[in-house]
């Protein structure tokens, strides 16, 4: 039976890698699939992984109608057994409902991948609807790590390595952005450091001076008179 599955995780948890692997596995068994993405780091109409894998995909815009996309292809003779939907947090709630209809009425599997919350720790509309509508929700087992070594659970937006909490919900950036550059980037943090707005760069700046214990010369003993 077809299903709508949502695979969720923070940035750097391997969502796109899993999406590409799932596409490979299904295609290797002779199934016909469609790949969709939105605002991928490598550019428009690409589905890419941080490991360096990249394949063509259809760019999702607010005007994309998933039901019409599948029906049009099936009308032309394609099977369309499954859909891989990456960066699904950027989809609209209506588009998620379309995906659910593709599963229920057309019998195609839909595998959606995305982050749940934005840089302010608020649910994306697409993710919120997926959490409500999915037959199955899985949190990725590959754990991204905060700079402190704890499990990263939140996505922080940074400018020059400093966390910001205001701005548009969707701004394209990457966790590989140079912290010294005055550009938008992202960093994964544990809840504690997200609440404190403490990134790797600001934590380093706030660190105390290195300990000098054992580095000072020992006092000389008084000479005998």
Catalytic positions are 87
CA distance 32 to 196: 47
CA distance 44 to 60: 9
Q: What is the largest CA-CA distance in the chain?
A: 108
CA distance 111 to 22: 9
Between strands 4-8 and 109-114, the pairing is parallel
Helix, strand, coil percentages, rounded to 5, for the chain: 30, 25, 50
SS3 139: strand
DSSP assignment of 79-124: ---EEEE-SGGGS-HHHHHHHHHHHHHH--EEEEEE-SB-TTS-B-
Contact 85, 111 (CB under 8 A): yes
> Cβ neighbours of residue 27 under 8 Å, at least 6 residues apart?
33
């Amino acid at each position: 039976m077809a299903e709508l599955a949502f695979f969720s995780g923070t940035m750097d948890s391997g969502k796109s890698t899993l999406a590409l692997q799932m596409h490979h596995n299904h295609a290797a068994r002779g199934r016909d699939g469609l790949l969709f993405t939105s605002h991928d780091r490598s550019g428009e109409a690409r589905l890419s992984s941080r490991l360096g894998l990249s394949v063509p995909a259809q760019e999702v815009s607010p005007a994309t109608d998933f039901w019409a996309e599948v029906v049009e292809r099936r009308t032309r003779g394609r099977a369309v057994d499954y859909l891989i939907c990456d960066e699904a947090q950027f989809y609209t709630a209506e588009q998620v409902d379309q995906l659910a209809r593709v599963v229920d009425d057309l019998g195609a599997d839909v595998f959606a991948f995305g982050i749940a919350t934005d840089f302010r720790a608020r649910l994306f509309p697409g993710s919120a609807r997926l959490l409500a509508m999915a037959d199955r929700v899985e949190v990725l087992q590959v754990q991204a790590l905060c700079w402190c070594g704890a499990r990263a659970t939140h996505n922080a937006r940074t400018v020059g390595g400093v966390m910001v909490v205001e701005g548009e919900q969707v701004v394209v950036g990457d966790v590989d952005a140079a912290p010294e550059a005055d550009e938008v980037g992202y960093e994964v943090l544990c809840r504690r450091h997200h609440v404190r707005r403490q990134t790797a760069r600001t934590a380093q700046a706030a660190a105390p001076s290195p300990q000098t214990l054992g580095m000072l010369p020992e006092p000389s003993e008084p000479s005998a008179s």
